Chains A and B, each alone.
Chain A
Amino acid sequence: MVDKPASDSAAPFGVALLPKSLGVKVGMLIAFTITIAAAFVIYVLFARGVFEATQRLTLVADNAEGVSIGMDLTFSGFPVGRVREIALADDGKARIGIDVPRRDARWLRATSVFTLEVSLVGGAKIRAYTGNLQDAPLADGAVRPVLRGDTAAEIPQLVATLRGVIENVERMTAPGASLQASLDNVRMVSERMAGKYGVLGGMLGGEDNARKVIASIDRANVLLASLNGVALKMDTVLAKTDQRVLGPGGVLDETQKAVTQANAILGEVRESLKKVDVILANAQAASGNVKAATTDLGALRAEVEASLRKVAALIDEINRKWPFERDTKIKLP
């Protein structure tokens, strides 16, 4: 079919044998071709986002493996940006430059999180997650870290961590482990508290100690009762003294002094009784320091005895210096 016109054209200007509209047809073909080529170029430029205003987003990753130029940044599965450059920064981190069309930039906010996921099969994926679409919009030229999720790289790490956790649990539950010992101690203490002497036994660490404290308290009670007797005795002594002093022919002012002194002594006795009270309160409240309490009681008893001796001496003195005695002077110690 081609050979025929070609052989015809062996004559230099054999165009006369060809259709008249040849020029028009060829012109149409060339015009159509140019139109399609131009449309294709414009379409490709449009597809590459040349006519679209974009903003730059730079993601910083530890490792840009799997990222390639032209890769999409997706949001909810829709592409909202395209990787334009990948560069290694001076700090050794990979910087992934992404162009985001302005009309899609509204999906990215200042609080958006970016992830780079590398699955076992298929290419890497860069995804954006925006929690709150009301947050401030992402600024042009923003630099954000990207969280890398590498399934293949994470498995050994996961296994190592899991092994550590399992070892810890094993160590905690092993016989003789500290957790076990702590639980045993708690059980022991609670058993003691449930025993005969209750919380006191639990606190003092045994029934013997608790029994000692209680015995101390009992002894203090007995002592208190004997002190009561002493006080009664003193009352009668004082009544007798009163009678004698107020009796006829008494040296009243001397007697008065003696009585004042007796009052002072009684004050001391009262102080002693207060101390006894305090010590008893201490003994009851502290329920520890049994030894100290006993020492205090000893000192108190000595003090009380001293006071009583003083009272007896005073009575002797009073008897001696009674108005009917020859010696009218009363000498105070």
Chain B
Amino acid sequence: MAFGGELIYRPRSWRRILRFAGFATVAALSPSAYGPAARAIAVKQIYLTAWQALPRYLLLGGLLSLILIEIVGTSARAYGLGQHALELTLRVLVLELIPLLTALFVALRSGAAVGAEIALMCVSGELEDSEEAGASPLHGELVPRIAAGALSVASLTTLGCALAMLLAYLVFYGFSPAGFAQYTRIVGNVFDAPALAGFLLKCLLFGLAVALIPIATGLEAERGKARSAPFVVLAGLVKLFVVIMAIEVLALVVKYI
């Protein structure tokens, strides 16, 4: 625990993460990083992170959405603000909660796994060996995982938001197309250009954080010291939560203050 705490608060560790993020982002944006082997790793990563998690994620997200829609709708009506209930629901759920919960879900489910995988690769010396053999572990092993992680977060957020919007319509208007015009008008009010741009930027930052930080901290494991791996993974997760919360708070501050 003490070791992990040191890792979290060591500024050098944060600097290393930032440097790695810069390198990885540039590498991820260059098409040369995606050879057949890299594509295979990316597809596998997406499969594990998004596809396998999809049913449970949708179930959990749908249930939570349903409960929150009911709570917001009921309390808004109780205060005589029923006409603002749907707008409030969309703002709270789609713009704020679903992206945040998706980032946390992916971080918990696969962030730890990916971090542990990279840490074990470091401990076994696999990455160093491949580097010495002339291959680039950044391109071959890490960039596909990062790209896949970011894509998975984006994919799950999109699907979760779509489900929440569908559920919101069904709860407020039932299985009838009658409320479509009003619903469309409220959607138009909620998703104006700044809100949409902020939403996309936030999702992108969440995706990058969830994909990058566990891998960056996993790389800090030392060769031959298998004991360092759990601490590194834990430090990665804690840093990831700190970053996700910082992004969310920053987004809220920019939007409402």
Q: Which residues does A use to contact B, with CB under 8 Å?
A: 1-3, 5-7, 9-10, 12-13, 15, 18, 22-23, 25-26, 29-30, 32-33, 36-37, 40, 43-44, 46-49, 69-70, 72, 79, 82, 121-122
| Stretch from B22-30, B64-72, B186-194, B242-250 forming part of the interface with A | B186-194
How far is A40 from B54 in the complex, measured between Cα atoms in Å?
20
Given contacts A2-B113, A22-B44, A36-B159, 19 further A-B contacts (CB under 8 A): A3-B116, A6-B116, A7-B117, A9-B41, A9-B117, A10-B124, A15-B41, A22-B43, A30-B155, A32-B159, A33-B155, A36-B158, A44-B187, A46-B184, A47-B187, A70-B192, A72-B185, A79-B185, A121-B80
A83 CB to nearest B CB, Å: 10
Q: Which residues on the A side are within 8 Å of B113 (C-beta)?
A: 2-3, 6
| Nearest-CB residue, chain A, relative to B80 | A121
**B35-75 with Cβ < 8 A to chain A:** 37, 40-41, 43-44, 46-48, 50-52, 54
How far is A62 from B185 in the complex, measured between Cα atoms in Å?
28
**B200-225 with Cβ < 8 A to chain A:** none
Interface pairs (29), CB distance under 8 Å: A2-B109, A2-B113, A6-B113, A6-B117, A7-B120, A9-B44, A10-B120, A13-B40, A15-B40, A22-B43, A22-B47, A25-B47, A25-B51, A26-B50, A26-B51, A29-B51, A30-B155, A32-B159, A33-B155, A36-B158, A36-B162, A37-B158, A40-B158, A43-B184, A47-B188, A70-B189, A79-B185, A82-B189, A121-B80
Decide yes or no: A48 and B191 within 8 Å by CB, A15-B40, A30-B151 being known contacts.
yes
Q: Which residues on the A side are within 8 Å of B159 (C-beta)?
A: 32-33, 36
Q: Does B252 contact A (CB under 8 A)?
A: no
Q: Which residues on the B side are within 8 Å of A18 (C-beta)?
A: 44, 47
Q: Is the CB of A44 within 8 A of B196?
A: yes
Q: Which residues does B use to contact A, with CB under 8 Å?
A: 37, 40-41, 43-44, 46-48, 50-52, 54, 80-81, 109-110, 113-114, 116-117, 120-121, 124, 126, 141, 151, 154-155, 158-159, 161-162, 184-185, 187-189, 191-192, 196
Q: Is the CB of B47 within 8 A of A49?
A: no
| Nearest-CB residue, chain A, relative to B49 | A2
Q: Which residues on the B side are within 8 Å of A29 (C-beta)?
A: 46, 50-51, 54, 155
A152 CB to nearest B CB, Å: 18
Q: Is the CB of B47 within 8 A of A2?
A: no
A166 CB to nearest B CB, Å: 35
Decide yes or no: A15 and B44 within 8 Å by CB, A30-B155, A48-B191 being known contacts.
yes
Q: Which residues on the B side are within 8 Å of A40 (C-beta)?
A: 158, 161-162
Decide yes or no: A30 and B37 within 8 Å by CB, A2-B110, A6-B113, A10-B120 being known contacts.
no
Q: Which residues on the B side are within 8 Å of A72 (C-beta)?
A: 185
| Nearest-CB residue, chain B, relative to A41 | B196
| Nearest-CB residue, chain B, relative to A19 | B47
How far is A40 from B199 in the complex, measured between Cα atoms in Å?
13
How far is A40 from B37 in the complex, measured between Cα atoms in Å?
33
| Nearest-CB residue, chain A, relative to B87 | A70
A264 CB to nearest B CB, Å: 109
How far is A251 from B165 in the complex, measured between Cα atoms in Å?
143
Q: Which residues on the A side are within 8 Å of B51 (C-beta)?
A: 25-26, 29
Q: Is the CB of B188 within 8 A of A26?
A: no
Q: Which residues on the A side are within 8 Å of B161 (C-beta)?
A: 40
How far is A122 from B79 in the complex, measured between Cα atoms in Å?
11
4 closest Cβ contacts across the A-B interface? A47-B188, A33-B155, A6-B113, A48-B188
